[in-house]
Amino acid sequence: MEIKSIKIGNIEVPNNVFLAPLAGYSSAEMRVVCTLLGAGLAFTEMVSAKGLKYNPKATNELLYTYPEEKIKAVQLFGEDSEVLSWAVKSEYLQKFDIVDINMGCPVPKIFNNGEGSALLKDMNKASKIIESLAKCGKPVTVKFRIGLEEGNYVTKEFAKMCEDSGASLITIHGRVRTAIYSGDVNFKEIESAKNAVKIPVIANGGVFTKEDANVLMDRTGADGVMVARGAMNNPLIFSEITESKSALTFKEAVLMHLNLLEKRLGSERCAVIFRKQMAFYLKGVRDSKKLKEKAFSATSANEMRQIILNYV
């Protein structure tokens, strides 16, 4: 794929390989590591606009950032345009340069609240949300799926609506809501949206290797790719796709992630939170099952660190 800068509103992003917003995973620490390894843009975890308004202490932790994040991008979810607008204008989001709206989350709890992918079936409400956020002064992007179920695709129409409502960029996950994260990516649907709009289109889904990224770009004609689970397994995927010299080895990247998290949260809490991430980092490592069990029983960052130093 051609590596190139991308213009999102008045902001120029250094390259077109993005880290996806990953609930429970794309913490500030992961974003710093992935950015250092070549990600052009990295999004926060999915943040509830209502949560930010009514339970800011808990929700605000998801908004922690580091100076190394030169361009800061937050992803919000919600179905109330007024609450979403309030969130964007609030003090909590002032440090963010770009606001992404989640219109693709397939999780039942989100969907049943009329949020995430549920907005695919209410284009008027989705449009109102985008319009209201676009008036807040920051570039607005939208991440959505190709439809709710196979054969009932809304990709092209939804993409045009996003553009007409003021979105500066769209990211399309090439699966329907019922597929969750499995099955083939529908290249044709992403291509149909790319051909229908003038704003940049980022393709998402199934990128675990550089070859996957090349295929996704070639088959869709998209302007860039977004990496999700592939980055959870291997953050060096950004160096591989961009063909840039890796700033870190895999072990160094994992240690950096752990060390930053420990500095922010302390040893014990860091160990607990890092367990699920270690499960991904240990994939493919010899005796990974035993090592995962060891990691999930770790009660300090140093115990976790010894596993990394000795086995990763």
Name the DSSP letter for residue 150.
T
Place of tokens 């291997």: 234
Name the DSSP letter for residue 267.
H
What is the spatial distance between Cα 126 and Cα 89, in angstroms, rounded to a whole number?
A: 19
User: Is 105 a residue of the active site?
Assistant: yes
What is the spatial distance between Cα 111 and Cα 221, in angstroms, rounded to a whole number?
A: 30
Q: How far, CA to CA in Å, does 36 sit from each of 26, 66, 124, 305?
A: 14, 12, 39, 21
Nearest to 99 by CA among 110, 84, 81, 120: 84
- Phi, psi for residue 233 in degrees, rounded to 5: -80, -40
105, 136, 162, 270: the active-site residue = 105
Q: How far, CA to CA in Å, does 87 sit from each of 83, 118, 127?
A: 6, 20, 17
Q: How far, CA to CA in Å, does 98 sit from each of 73, 129, 138, 152?
A: 5, 15, 6, 31
List the catalytic residues. 105
